[in-house]
């Protein structure tokens, strides 16, 4: 990590603020992620809403403190609602976070992801395959820095080691557990935590780094109690609910 502020110190404080201030997060997310996303937000103290209708989602967004746009299971309702919700978040000066799930698998989705990027998300969370589809080349730190600068967005690139990049600063987070990749929508639900933190922390790079750190530490704690991929999600939510700054400090592997 190139410079302060320190995500390790900030993450515990952000969790406490979240539980006290209970920000609202509206999420347009894929069908397999809706329940886990809502439960993750409730587990950390935020208030979720999930409506995908173009008639209603902008009103939900306008009263929310942050917005998640996840491009999974992109049906006609979501397609119609997404640009209006982005407009509502921008109009209200609220941060929004983009999760371009499976953007490598569907040409119209890639096109739509590029259009939504023009709406300037605070944070783009993706994995290496999705990043490569968006940038057109292997997502090295330099490539990701350049992409972040070009779009004015923090890139939170998740993998065995997560990278959080804003064109200038770089955090590497090595926390996490292999079972996190064996449960559907763990990444998608995690994106909602980044949005909740961005509702409270005006520096989106710090919000993203704190979010991925909290997710990785909670995943490690859960990996120690879960008996397999079936029992993992409940253990993960329990761990998030109980997590505090001292656990984060003790386990953080940040560089």
Output the smallest distance, CB 31 to its own copies, in A: 5
Distance CA 142, CA 138 (A): 10
Distance CA 137, CA 220 (A): 31
β strands within 42-136, DSSP E:
47-49, 66-70, 96-99, 123-127
Tokens of 12: 């515990």
The torsion of the CA quartet 200, 161, 12, 179, rounded to 10 degrees, works out to 100
Given the complex with its own copies, which of 48 and 211 has the nearer CB atom? 48
Tokens of 34: 């809706």
Provide DSSP, 179-204.
Answer: GGGGSTTHHHHHHHHHHHHHHH-S-H
Given the complex with its own copies, which of 108 and 136 has the nearer CB atom? 108
Given the complex with its own copies, which of 106 and 161 has the nearer CB atom? 106
Output the smallest distance, CB 36 to its own copies, in A: 7
Residues near its own copies (CB under 8 A) are 30-32, 34-36, 38-39, 42-43, 48-53, 55-56, 59-60, 63, 72-77, 79, 102, 105-109, 181-185, 227-231, 233-242
Output the smallest distance, CB 164 to its own copies, in A: 26
Given the complex with its own copies, which of 52 and 254 has the nearer CB atom? 52
19 carries a ligand binding annotation:
no
The torsion of the CA quartet 116, 121, 124, 130, rounded to 10 degrees, works out to 10
Output the smallest distance, CB 20 to its own copies, in A: 15
Given the complex with its own copies, which of 6 and 238 has the nearer CB atom? 238
Name, in order, each residue with C-beta under 8 angstroms of 209's C-beta and a sequence gap of 6 or more. Answer: 1, 7, 156, 164, 171, 173, 254
Output the smallest distance, CB 192 to its own copies, in A: 12
Given the complex with its own copies, which of 203 and 241 has the nearer CB atom? 241
Beta carbons within 10 angstroms of residue 168's beta carbon: 11
Output the smallest distance, CB 211 to its own copies, in A: 18
From residue 57, how far is each of 25, 37, 70, 82, 160 by CA, in Å? Answer: 12, 16, 14, 9, 34
Query: Which residues does the annotation place in the binding site for substrate?
Result: 185
Query: Which residues does the annotation place in the binding site for ATP?
Result: 125, 158
Query: Which residues does the annotation place in the binding site?
Result: 125, 158, 185
């Amino acid at each position: 990590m190139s410079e302060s502020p320190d995500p390790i110190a900030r993450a515990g404080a952000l969790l406490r603020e979240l539980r006290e201030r209970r920000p609202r997060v509206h999420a347009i997310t894929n069908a397999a992620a809706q329940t886990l996303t809502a439960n993750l937000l409730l587990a950390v103290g935020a208030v979720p809403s999930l409506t995908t209708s173009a008639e209603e989602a902008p009103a939900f967004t306008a009263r929310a403190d942050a917005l998640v746009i996840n491009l999974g299971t992109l049906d006609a309702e979501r397609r119609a609602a997404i640009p209006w919700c982005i407009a509502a978040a921008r109009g209200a000066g609220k941060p929004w976070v983009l999760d371009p799930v499976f953007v490598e698998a569907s040409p119209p989705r890639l096109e739509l992801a590029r259009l939504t990027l023009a709406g300037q998300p605070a944070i783009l969370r993706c994995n290496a395959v999705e990043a490569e589809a968006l940038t057109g080349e292997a997502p090295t730190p330099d490539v990701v820095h350049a992409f972040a600068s070009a779009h004015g967005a923090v890139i939170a690139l998740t993998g065995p080691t997560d990278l959080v990049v804003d064109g200038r600063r770089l955090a590497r987070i090595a926390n996490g557990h292999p079972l996190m990749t064996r449960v559907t929508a763990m990444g998608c639900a995690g994106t909602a935590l980044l949005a909740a933190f961005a509702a409270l922390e005006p520096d989106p790079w710090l919000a993203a780094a704190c979010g991925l750190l909290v997710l990785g530490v909670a995943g490690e704690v859960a990996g120690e109690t879960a008996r397999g991929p079936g029992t993992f999600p409940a253990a993960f939510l329990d761990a998030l609910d109980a997590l505090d700054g001292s656990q984060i400090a003790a386990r953080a592997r940040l560089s």
